[in-house]
Structure 1
Amino acid sequence: MNVTAKFLGGSGVVTGSKYLIDIGEFEFLVDCGLFQGPKALRQQNWDKFPMPVSDLEAIILTHAHLDHIGYLPKLVKQGFNGPIYCTEATAELAKILLLDSGKLQEEEAEYARKKGYSKHENPQPLYTMEDAEAVFPLLSPQPFESTFEIHPRIKVTYFHAGHILGAAIVKVVIQGDHQSKKLVFSGDLGRYKDPILYPPSRIPKADIVWIESTYGDRKATEQKPEEELARAIRETFDRGGLVIIPAFAVGRTQLLMYHIYQLMEKGKIPKAPVFVDSPMAIDATRLYLDFHTDHRLTAMLEEEHHPFKHPQLRYFQKQEQSMSLNEFRGNAIIISASGMATGGRVLHHLFHHLPHEKNGVIMVGFQAEETRGRRILEGEPSVRIYGNEVPVRAKVYTVEGLSAHADQDELMDWAEGFCEKPKMTFIVHGEKKSAEALSVKLNEELGWNTIIPQYLESFVLFEGI
């Protein structure tokens, strides 16, 4: 029996992860991500899928970020109706994120229609909320560290990856005619010292490894993020101001809630209202309570007060609640999406509070080029919000060290967990510079045979097994 792999995304870029494995009698995908970022990449979402959808029989997901699951509604719309395997928390997060993605696709198409900037007379969304809902019946949730079968010859096991709630490393065992072979997909690996999530599991043996390289050329700052966060909050409160933190709804918001609770309990910042103003973040936070065995906070959540439930915390689901904060004066912390200030409720908070010197804006994540968050971070005197130039007079802070991605040292640490060198290692989910840096490091320090695959490139993994 021969086994091949084809790279339909996540190769040479940090987006669109899709890896096709073919054992001859059965083809399956590992991840089914949306291409995000520059227009040239986003346009690939509209291309014809590079294989007959009818030949695809199953999908295995590593975690719920859109660059790993966001293409599912389009694929189902094209006729895929096989099982989509994922961890239990990933299944629930996927429902939240895919519905939101469908809504955004619809809104973007409607905006293009109104403004007339599309080359199409009647621009259509890539998929709709209804298309997203069509994915849900296909989801097949599986527990961590419990082997399940997707085909008589293929067994799969999920291990903790530590990236976001439910994120998993995937081990796939393929039984050939004469011997079995192990494939291991890192998915996106998290930080080893994350206070909420378990560290990435070490897998002792694999014949072929897929390892992400998002930060393959970077080492995390040694600074303690909670100390920087405390300083920014204290300084703003001392001015009589209000703190605004643009934050991604899944992962980053919950990590901030943890740190802020701890800082208040330890007396490092004054106790003040904390407004979580993001329906998606609120829905995601509930999942941390539902899947409490999937993270480190199990014992803490049994207490009367904990990071996701305490007297200072306010969850704002409704638009009217959110709007009421426009007139708020005094010490408070508002955590709201989106993380790069490209849209969402955080915009009206910035619109009303950026012009006042006493306020503070804390940037806690990567700000991509040409985003509003990047312009605020780089000190531009004003930013455009709702068609108006809004002066940036609030003090802008940066807190590093809250990333959900393993850095180069942590990626190497995970790789060193293998007892034997894999036959072949694919460096994926990273831009050229970071992928090459990790490739060199793995080759020189561990003697690994590394390959940086290109988009649509195919490889024979095993012959006659």
Structure 2
Amino acid sequence: MSPRPGRGEATVTFLGGVGTVTGSRFLVETGRAAVLVECGLFQGLRELRRRNWDAPPVERLDAVVITNAHLDHCGYLPVLARHGFSGPVYATEHTIELAEIALREGARLLAEDAEQANRYGWTRHHPALPLYDESEVERVLRLFRALPYGQPVPVAPGVAVSAHPAGHILGSAWLQVYLDEPGGERTLVVSGALGRPRHPLLAPPELPGAAEAVIVESTYGDRRHEDAEAVERLAEAVSRTVARGGSVVIPASAVDRTEVILYTLRELVGTGQVPEVPVVVDGPSMLAALDVYRRAIAARSAELHPGLVARGESFAPGMLRELQTVEESMLANAPQVPSVIVSASGMATGGRVLHHLRHLLPDPRNTVVIAGFAAAGTRARDLLEGAPAIKMHGRYVPVRAEVVEVPVAHADAEEILGWLQAMPAPRMTYVVHGEPGASARLRDRIAADLGWPAVVPRLGERVLFA
């Protein structure tokens, strides 16, 4: 990387999260400091995942700030630590709590993948090694520092950050970055992953104030969600599957997706829209995250939807089974009665859900519900695109089960635009964290509907601030 900018020449470099909905990493540099905003893992296509093995292209880094606990925002932290980073990592308290769960689970899955690759020869590397391990996760956990909502916190010389609720998952934040430059203070807004104004569990995203530049996500920048349609689609999929004697498997990220699914199923069972059947949550990490949400409800967290707090939501849609052990998980592969199985990972890239898919995909009575965004190159995306067979554990499994998509969690194009228009026009808007079509579409909507200058940056591109 080129030398640090001179004083008065702050820059932003887009090291990830462009052209893809993974690997978010945005380097903010001034003449006095370098701060990495987001430290995400690339996922999906092989050429993207290979980038995770690259050494960080940063000569010196003073601090990292992350917006939420999903791996596409924090999963590269252990690699950064392995390459010598020992500075502070700032995040909200709930993000720190959930990131520990996500990173530990990531280390476990990476170790399992490497072990299987070596055992069955599924690798050109001898031996195959995990991208990071538990010791590197431990090193990262010691670096976390709590970032309170609504209060500017100095994170590096001349750089302060304030976090504001983003309504995406518990602990998620959008950031206001303040740069103390010779010509005066300059500001940057980073959206992180924006939630929906009508999220069933969380309070709406706080609206942004003025800034000279904005970095905004575009995961669903080319779509519009219909809340009633999504819930109806889930209800019909479960009812249809149960009626034909099948089971539903839902790949879900450990954080938030599981909670939203359980909440929605509880509502549907309560209103009689779906029959009451066993609902299985499979995996220690999912259950650990579920406990974090339950504790937040008991503590009456202001991040949560007031209605959720008022009734003390338990996330128990009738016959709820929580599976911790591998032996319990194996028994769930062949349900004796129609069931709903919720298991990680959300994009079916690894974890226990692969075993459930391997057993359930060949049977046309069953259904796979993809709840949330599926990046290109993931098994979840292949299923949505109608792949006749999916490769898992070295063999192809025929896909005869029904596949249904139910979008959740991320704001759609209208909601992103509604959030942006609460602030005065910035000098420049950078559209990131989206696949090319979605980013381009949102860029065009920002220009046409708001009249703002907007661009989709290139990977590795460095721009002068605002």
TM-score (norm 2): 0.89
The amino acid that maps onto 1:277 is: D
Partner of 1:430: 434
Partner of 1:132: 137
What runs of 5+ residues in structure 1 fail to find an aligned partner? none
Could you tell me whether the CA contact under 8 Å between 1:261 and 1:307 is conserved in 2? Answer: no
Could you tell me whether the CA contact under 8 Å between 1:164 and 1:250 is conserved in 2? Answer: yes
Deviates more, 1:120-129 or 1:276-285: 120-129
- Distance in 2, matches of 1:210 and 1:16, equals 15
Matched, 1:349 2:360: no
* Counterparts in 2 of 1:168 and 1:374: CA distance versus 1, 3 Å: closer
Q: CA shift at 1:75, angstroms?
A: 1.0
Partner of 1:208: 213
Q: CA shift at 1:119, angstroms?
A: 3.9
Aligned residue runs from structure 1 range 12-91, under 5 A: 12-52=19-59, 55-91=60-96
- Distance in 2, matches of 1:119 and 1:56, equals 33
SS in 2 for 1:282: helix
Q: CA shift at 1:134, angstroms?
A: 0.8
Q: CA shift at 1:288, angstroms?
A: 0.9
* Counterparts in 2 of 1:354 and 1:427: CA distance versus 1, 3 Å: closer
- Distance in 2, matches of 1:170 and 1:385, equals 39
Could you tell me whether the CA contact under 8 Å between 1:257 and 1:307 is conserved in 2? Answer: no
- Distance in 2, matches of 1:359 and 1:15, equals 30
SS in 2 for 1:143: coil
- Distance in 1, matches of 2:433 and 2:114, equals 28
- Distance in 2, matches of 1:239 and 1:169, equals 44
Matched, 1:296 2:304: yes
Q: CA shift at 1:356, angstroms?
A: 4.6
- Distance in 2, matches of 1:106 and 1:269, equals 39
Counterpart selection for 1:142 from 141, 144, 147: 147
- Distance in 1, matches of 2:146 and 2:203, equals 19
Matched, 1:447 2:455: no
Could you tell me whether the CA contact under 8 Å between 1:100 and 1:129 is conserved in 2? Answer: no
Matched pairs, number: 456
The amino acid that maps onto 1:328 is: P
Q: Deviations over 1:194-221 (max 9, x none)?
A: 1112222211211111111222222224
* Counterparts in 2 of 1:134 and 1:351: CA distance versus 1, 3 Å: same
* Counterparts in 2 of 1:323 and 1:424: CA distance versus 1, 3 Å: same
Aligned residue runs from structure 1 range 26-425, under 5 A: 26-52=33-59, 55-151=60-156, 153-221=158-226, 223-292=228-297, 293-297=301-305, 300-301=308-309, 303=311, 306-309=313-316, 311-368=318-375, 371-374=378-381, 376-377=383-384, 392=399, 394=401, 396-400=402-406, 402-418=407-423, 420-425=424-429
Could you tell me whether the CA contact under 8 Å between 1:157 and 1:171 is conserved in 2? Answer: yes
* Counterparts in 2 of 1:138 and 1:273: CA distance versus 1, 3 Å: same
Could you tell me whether the CA contact under 8 Å between 2:98 and 2:289 is conserved in 1? Answer: yes
SS in 2 for 1:224: helix
The amino acid that maps onto 1:101 is: G
* Counterparts in 2 of 1:109 and 1:310: CA distance versus 1, 3 Å: closer
Could you tell me whether the CA contact under 8 Å between 2:32 and 2:158 is conserved in 1? Answer: no
Q: CA shift at 1:274, angstroms?
A: 1.4
Q: Deviations over 1:106-158 (max 9, x none)?
A: 33333333344544333332221111111001001222223322246332211
Q: CA shift at 1:336, angstroms?
A: 1.7
Q: Deviations over 1:70-127 (max 9, x none)?
A: 1111111111111100011110111111112222333333333334454433333222
The amino acid that maps onto 1:72 is: L
Q: CA shift at 1:262, angstroms?
A: 0.8
Matched, 1:457 2:465: no
Q: Deviations over 1:149-199 (max 9, x none)?
A: 224633221111122221110011223334212111001112222111222
Q: CA shift at 1:250, angstroms?
A: 1.9
Could you tell me whether the CA contact under 8 Å between 2:41 and 2:75 is conserved in 1? Answer: yes
The amino acid that maps onto 1:423 is: R
The amino acid that maps onto 2:112 is: E
Deviates more, 1:318-327 or 1:89-98: 318-327
TM-score (norm 1): 0.89
Partner of 2:3: none
Could you tell me whether the CA contact under 8 Å between 1:247 and 1:339 is conserved in 2? Answer: yes
What runs of 5+ residues in structure 2 fail to find an aligned partner? 1-6
* Counterparts in 2 of 1:155 and 1:343: CA distance versus 1, 3 Å: closer
What is the aligned-residue RMSD (CA, Å)?
2.6
Deviates more, 1:91-100 or 1:356-365: 356-365
The amino acid that maps onto 2:454 is: T
- Distance in 1, matches of 2:140 and 2:54, equals 20
* Counterparts in 2 of 1:157 and 1:123: CA distance versus 1, 3 Å: same
* Counterparts in 2 of 1:444 and 1:257: CA distance versus 1, 3 Å: same
The amino acid that maps onto 1:414 is: W
Q: CA shift at 1:422, angstroms?
A: 0.6
Could you tell me whether the CA contact under 8 Å between 1:217 and 1:437 is conserved in 2? Answer: yes
Q: CA shift at 1:310, angstroms?
A: 6.1
Partner of 2:4: none
